[in-house]
A and B are shown apart, each in its own frame.
Chain A
Amino acid sequence: NAGVTQTPKFRILKIGQSMTLQCTQDMNHNYMYWYRQDPGMGLKLIYYSVGAGITDKGEVPNGYNVSRSTTEDFPLRLELAAPSQTSVYFCASRRQNTDTQYFGPGTRLTVL
């Protein structure tokens, strides 16, 4: 199993551009999450999903959108990139009725 994969690894955006961060897991996990990690700060939950077709907001959802059309994929969309969205983004997943979250390698995004 590849586990949780994220693309791209790095990206530089200009203010106002849009992009999609991809996240895929091959473990058939129901639950998927998007976090951001700012320098010197704890991770913060952006959005999560408990299964295909179901998504919900986390702590910092503004400026982001998600969709979950399949069990495997949970893309995160930035519509109008702002410098405040410069961060490292982590996707994670877990199986229902278990506690362990499996994290992807992260995407480092810089908005200039």
Chain B
Amino acid sequence: KNEVEQSPQNLTAQEGEFITINCSYSVGISALHWLQQHPGGGIVSLFMLSSGKKKHGRLIATINIQEKHSSLHITASHPRDSAVYICAGLIQGGSEKLVFGKGTKLTVNP
């Protein structure tokens, strides 16, 4: 079993829909990152959070440390949101080690 699990693996939505991507982890982490990988392969960091909730534009990320679970929400989805979304946990203890999920491939149709 992977230390970081994402669901769903694939997600298809219609433009305008509200999207939720889930991330659960089984190891102790000090923070959780959400990343976006574009169809061309480039990777962009979206959020880092260690508690609560963060919002950036139409993207909202939440984390529940006790339940070892994080969610990424996209409101009013758009075809340009089509990408692979990856969560990664920063292992506790001052290490630089990020443990990555396999990613959720999101396709938003017009």
Residues of A participating in the B interface, judged by any CB pair closer than 8 Å? 31, 33, 40-45, 48, 50, 56, 58-59, 88, 90, 92, 99-103, 105-106
Q: Identify A42's interface contact among B45, B97, B103, CB under 8 A.
A: B103
In the complex the two chains form, what is the Cα distance from A33 to B33 in whole Å? 15
**5 pairs, CB–CB < 8 Å, chain A vs chain B:** A43-B98, A50-B96, A88-B41, A99-B31, A105-B41
Residues of A within 8 A of B43 (CB): 90, 92, 103, 106
Name the residue on A nearest B9 (C-beta): A40
Number of interface residues of B (CB under 8 A): 20
Residues of B within 8 A of A88 (CB): 41
**Contact B41–A42 (Cβ < 8 Å):** no
B48 at the interface (CB under 8 A from A): yes
Name the residue on A nearest B31 (C-beta): A99
With contact pairs A42-B4, A43-B86, A43-B88 given, residues A105 and B42 touching in the complex (Cβ less than 8 Å): yes
B78 at the interface (CB under 8 A from A): no
**Binary A-proximity of B39-72 (CB < 8 A = 1, otherwise 0):** 0011111001000000000000000000000000
In the complex the two chains form, what is the Cα distance from A13 to B101 in whole Å? 28
In the complex the two chains form, what is the Cα distance from A56 to B45 in whole Å? 23
Shortest Cβ distance from residue A76 to the other chain B in the assembled complex, whole angstroms: 16
In the complex the two chains form, what is the Cα distance from A63 to B37 in whole Å? 26
Residues of B within 8 A of A43 (CB): 86, 88, 98, 100
Residues of A within 8 A of B26 (CB): none
